Chain A
């Protein structure tokens, strides 16, 4: 025995019928829909629409994402560039050390004293090496000067590495910008 369905009921069941779900859950209704479709042109058109819709949705095209999207996402998540600030901050201790060295060496007197002092220290060191005199005492100012030189060299090396990194990241950003 077959069940007669009204068009409104058929149209409610169409998607489940098209997917094959209706045949699994309610075979009788599925058969009734099939029979209704044979005799109803309007519902057949709706059925055709229901069959084609999933294909149309899968075929739907969207605009491609703008090329700047990836760069924009990466720049949103990358840590804020603090390197440039630390690069400028390094100038302060470098300037203090440089000023100290310049002050120490300022004037011909200071330079002469440094040269003669270094020469005397070397002579005393040579005598100490040959066992002719005790280990010479080094003036505190010379120790400070040497420390300042070492510190300045280390700072300058670190500063250069920071600058090199900044240049690299700048080049990377420029590349990304060009790509965008």
Chain B
């Protein structure tokens, strides 16, 4: 199903007008029922959202399902977006909540479906870029993994991560410090194990 997962370039099919618009304008047009504008919005965010979902779930099919769910939820909630505020924190809050709910509903899967496991059939083998870190992230509690992914992976500033997770900036900083300390310990342990 995901044989194309490694493809880097995606065809640009949105209208030339929609491609030059800011996310906020696209949202306004999409709220008015413009599907081309919404398609362009999905195109702009799909890579980060899919990557975020994949790093959080570490399963191609689940990442695909979650990404789709996030965008469908976005479409259904477009009317609730306050155009006077920045779009990204609102969007990532929706994405984070959808992710939390998705995890709650999710049937636990074995943790051996890592990025570097070889997929069968027509699917591609994707070597993990930093397998030790990917494994360490997978071991992190979701309450810590979510802010880490939002800040370092989705590249949201601390203020936006705080808004997204309904926490204060100092609380987010503290959580990120603890998360990084845990990652560091896990990485040190795995290095020691590797040396033995």
Contact = CB atoms under 8 A, between A and B. Distances in A.
A72 interface: yes
Given A60-B129, A62-B50, A78-B35, A73 B55 contact: no
Interface string A58-76: 1111111111111011101
Interface in A64-94: 64-70, 72-74, 76-78
Interface stretch (B15-23, B64-72, B93-101, B102-110): B64-72
A70 B184 contact: no
A138 interface: no
A59 B52 CA distance: 13
Chain B at the A interface: mostly helix, strand, loop or mixed? helix
A62 B54 CA distance: 7
B161 interface: no
Nearest to A70: B42
Interface in B103-159: 115, 126, 129-130, 133-134, 137, 148, 152-153, 155
A65 B66 CA distance: 12
Given A46-B188, A57-B152, A67-B7, A11 B129 contact: no
Contact of A59 (B7, B64, B129): B129
Nearest to B71: A73
A6 to B, nearest CB: 16
A63 B152 contact: no
B64 A179 contact: no
Contact of A65 (B50, B75, B184): B50
Contact of A54 (B42, B180, B181, B187): B180
A74 B42 CA distance: 9
A170 to B, nearest CB: 17
A57 B176 CA distance: 12
B72 A46 contact: no
11 contacts: A21-B177, A58-B152, A60-B55, A60-B153, A63-B54, A64-B6, A64-B50, A66-B5, A69-B50, A70-B42, A78-B35
Given A12-B181, A15-B180, 7 more contacts: A53-B183, A62-B52, A62-B54, A63-B126, A66-B5, A69-B46, A76-B68
Interface of B: 1-8, 10-11, 13, 35, 38-39, 42-43, 46-47, 49-52, 54-55, 60, 64, 67-68, 71-72, 75-76, 115, 126, 129-130, 133-134, 137, 148, 152-153, 155, 173, 176-178, 180-181, 183-184, 187-188
